[in-house]
Amino acid sequence: MKKKIRKLSLIVSCMTIVALLLSGCSSTKSTTTSSKAKNSDKKSSSTQRVSIMVGGLEKIIYLPFMLAEKLGFYEDEGLIVTLISESAGQSAETALLAGQVDGAGGFYDHTLDLQSKGKNVEAVVTMAGVPGEQLMVANRLKDKVKTLADLKGLNIGVTGLGSSTNMLASYNVVKGGNKESDYKPLPVGAGQTLIAAMQNNRIDACVTSEPTASLLLNKNMAFTFVDMNSKEGTEKSLGGGYAATSLYMSNDYVKAHPDVVQRLANAYVKTLKWMGSHTPEEIADKMPEEYYAGDKTVYIQALKGQLPMFTTDGKMPAGVPENVQKILSAFKPGVKKVDLSLTYTNKFIENVK
């Protein structure tokens, strides 16, 4: 399995990822998990192998990908799934376009951005109807940053350039009457790398998710300036829903492998329903200990706040694609011409039994 991961990483030309794999580091490491068929009969032509790169498996916003593995739902569907973790959704997007993985775990907004650049990918499962992100500002700037207009000139930490956190930062800056060029996005990942950047004053603000947001709050390093985590906050800050966590794949792959896509849809809908019927503590117990970032209590606290962001059925909520298009168009004019019908499908979700 390690040989397989190294081969993938070399093709993508991410030598840093390989180094992290060999050293066993966390943070932005690339890790792999595979579900095995329950019995030898399943290890036949009906067993399908799928590789999915996720923009940070340890982030709560992407919890369903690893949870489906821990609950054995990939296995139930006769799938051998390789999950590869990267620090930002942009990396997952790049690997998908390069043909190095079959699917990407990231935000729905990537599908619109890519189509505006001539690349067609679509969300086949929509796992969250709000971003689950917060725009946080360093406590040292509490008296300076009062309105969105005050974001001008700040260094804002994002997971990666071109990532969804980058796009959400740009929107809030533009919404404040500034230009996208009026702030500097700095790729700092999430977790400890972002916290270190805030602590060392490399960044003045950041767009981040849980558990990083709770860690910043508990360390009294930053405060929430724009809430895009709750449904109410998203409605206020973004004017409506914003489809976030999703499994997206190239349109060509979806057409060529409908059976594989259906099995994945089955697994993720079962996962979402399981999440809706279990406590945060029970969910946390299923996750790898390293995802707690050293504090399981804080992880559970953050999980309680983020569980409402997830859909229960995997469907794209009505009207949400249009709102995402409106938001991105504020600083990406080319997105106005995107054909939304090619950016997502509910077909596989509707076929889940």
Residue span of the structural domain in which 217 resides: 133-228
Total domains, the chain: 2
- 277 lies in a domain? yes
- 7 lies in a domain? no
Structure tokens at 90: 């942009």
Residue 94, pLDDT above cutoff 90? no
- 143 lies in a domain? yes
| DSSP string over 215-267 | HHHHTTSEEEEEEESSHHHHHHHHSS----EEEEEEHHHHHH-HHHHHHHHHH
The predicted pLDDT at position 293 comes to 85
The model's pTM is 0.85
- 97 lies in a domain? yes
Q: Same domain, yes or no, for 101 and 250?
A: yes
CATH assignment at residue 77:
3.40.190.10
In angstroms, rounded to a whole number, what is the distance separating the alpha carbons of residues 165 and 185? Answer: 10
Residue where one domain finishes, among candidates 170, 197, 228: 228
The predicted pLDDT at position 88 comes to 66
What would the pLDDT profile of 334-348 be if each residue is shown by its tens digit? 999 999 999 999 999
Rounded average pLDDT over 97-115: 95
Structure tokens at 327: 């938001």
What would the pLDDT profile of 15-59 be if each residue is shown by its tens digit? 333 333 333 333 334 444 444 444 434 444 588 999 999 988 999
The predicted pLDDT at position 41 comes to 42
Average per-residue pLDDT for the chain: 88
Given a contact cutoff of 8 angstroms between Cβ atoms, the answer to whether 32 and 1 are in contact is yes
What H or E segment, with its residue span, contains residue 288?
A: none
In angstroms, rounded to a whole number, what is the distance separating the alpha carbons of residues 201 and 236? Answer: 29
Given a contact cutoff of 8 angstroms between Cβ atoms, the answer to whether 141 and 278 are in contact is no
Structure tokens at 293: 């970032």
The predicted pLDDT at position 158 comes to 96
What H or E segment, with its residue span, contains residue 315?
A: none
Cα radius of gyration rounded to whole Å, the chain? 19
- 147 lies in a domain? yes
What would the pLDDT profile of 302-328 be if each residue is shown by its tens digit? 999 999 999 999 999 999 999 999 999
The predicted pLDDT at position 8 comes to 40
